[in-house]
Amino acid sequence: MKHDPTSLKLFVRVVEEGTIAAAAEKEFIAAAAVSRRISELESTLNTQLLLRTNKGVEPTAAGVALLNLARRALHELEAVYVQMQDYASGVRGHIRVFANISAITQFLPRELKDFLAEHPQVEIHLEEKISTAVTRAVADNAADIGIYTPGSHPPGVEVFGYHPDTLAVIVAEDHPLSARPRLTLDEMLDYDFVGLHAGSAINTLIQGVASERERAVQLRMQVTGYDVLCLMVEAGHGIGVLPEAVARLHAPALKLRIIPLDETWARRELKICVRRYDALPVAARLLVDHLRRRAGGAAPDLVQPAG
């Protein structure tokens, strides 16, 4: 079919106005151009659409059918334009977010709730990943936004500051270390640990520091979440290291002691990463801005690219 939306629109206007001249005036186009469009439409469809009289024009039976179809088609095309404008403005969108367990547990539930309340037609696909997988997914364009704990500076992404994240130790109430006001890693390494799954930032951090001190971590058990870690520590399987804010969520319901970790590396900062902020879909940029505001971050134009 060779007809286009302009021809359909002119046809509808001609039928509504009753004359080609009136339709041309409404559409700010020459009457001859309108007449030519209608003739081409009739030729393309191989049927007469209008009956021309000295009083104007009337639709044939085929013209009435086309009128209804054309109105529906033009309405759908207008809906396409409106929806695309919504995506362009950020009213609509689909955002892929990969984040580590620390961000998902502590900050994202409320912050995403507030964002979606402001942008109800935006969809967010959230996946939990270890930090190295988060940055790799963003660099490979498998995720729009990543939230992670830095181990090394990730290549191919732009990085923003996010929330501080302080680690603490949890032990069972009857553990030999439970009475200590503070703990260093050296004091902890004589005891069994309950850790998160392989590749987690906290596990990697503790094992790296222990290795630098020529010590080994006695990792008795690995689990997939902070809630299970707390349960295993309470049951006496070992001690655990996790964000202090998460520990305080679980400790009141369990027989656990939270002990400050007296190590400089225990004070971390979560980061947000994207491939290129300026190239993000509008909805994703709005989410980055929202998360940074909630964390007290600088304005988006201060993005520093990874080196």
> Is 221 strand, coil or helix?
strand
Q: Determine the Cα–Cα distance for residues 236 and 220; give it in Å rounded to an integer.
A: 11
Which has the closest alpha carbon to 196: 163, 153, 149?
149
pLDDT tens, residue by residue, 151-191:
766 678 899 999 999 999 999 999 999 999 999 999 999 99
The strand pairing partners of 159, in sequence order, are 273, 304
Q: Determine the Cα–Cα distance for residues 222 and 113; give it in Å rounded to an integer.
A: 31
**Domains of the chain (ranges, CATH numbers):** 5-89 (1.10.10.10), 93-163+268-305 (3.40.190.10), 164-267 (3.40.190.290)
The pLDDT value recorded for residue 199 is 81
pLDDT tens, residue by residue, 16-27:
998 989 989 988
* CB of 185 closer than 8 Å to CB of 214: no
Query: What's this model's pTM, rounded to 2 decimal places?
Result: 0.68
Question: Using alpha carbons only, what angle is made at residue 89 by residues 4 and 298, rounded to the nearest 5 degrees?
Answer: 155
pLDDT, averaged across the chain = 88
CA atoms within 13 A of residue 74's CA, in its CB half-sphere: 17
Q: Determine the Cα–Cα distance for residues 234 and 223; give it in Å rounded to an integer.
A: 14
pLDDT tens, residue by residue, 91-116:
568 899 999 999 999 999 999 999 99
The pLDDT value recorded for residue 300 is 41
